[in-house]
Structure 1
């Protein structure tokens, strides 16, 4: 192989260049809890980086550095949305209870992308269902899981 296609190392330690985690093109809206989650992630990653550095674990160092770059960018772009006390319409941060046509009730909370956990009912505000709920009021119809549903409560 030609030497033009090899990567020279400065020393005997192999390095890992991991690609950055992709950043969303959407506004980085966060709840106060979401901002705390970002801060907690950064604290955890700084400790992991320190531990990996002490152990000389280049792969763990690369992972921690990549994830720290991501969370620092997310922290820098975070737009904190204070709690909205007007519950007349669904907005960012609100918890919404819907009743499906089959009688089942589901609860969702509209949160930032990094806070999202659909299994726990935490929907990123950019998700189609969250967008369908935005601006609606109690009694309004919406489609949830390909079923007709009615908004019962906004809190």
Structure 2
């Protein structure tokens, strides 16, 4: 149950954070593998990036990759917090008196975090692919032209195998 509650809470936050993820991803890819001054600057800052994306692709494009972004939040946070809660319920982070032990809590959080990231890695890859898709006028990085999350996962699996989907 902790998995579901944690995942649903993270999904709620994902609706608000996804536009920022789209902006961040596109700005990071700008000039990918090129020397400074050797690429077109489509996004000068976050405000200009927002304006450019809305102008060329429409306001809804700020929510590109929303479906996989919400799945990433659900899987990553559900697994992370679910594992931590299970370890806490099992007494693995407590001392004999029932007090939380700092280093055990940190280790349990690390185990949950790693498991959550590994579990959501394939969907995170697809999310990034979808968030970078834009009109030709402001395209940065490689444009994959996926139609949706499921088509993208199937195509990546077919062309590159399971190792690329599961490589964090």
**TM-score, structure 1 normalization:** 0.30
Higher helix proportion: 2
Q: Choose 1 or 2 for highest CA Rg.
A: 1
Higher strand proportion: 1
- Of the two structures, which has the highest relative contact order with CA contacts closer than 8 Å and spacing of 6 or more? 2
**TM-score, structure 2 normalization:** 0.28
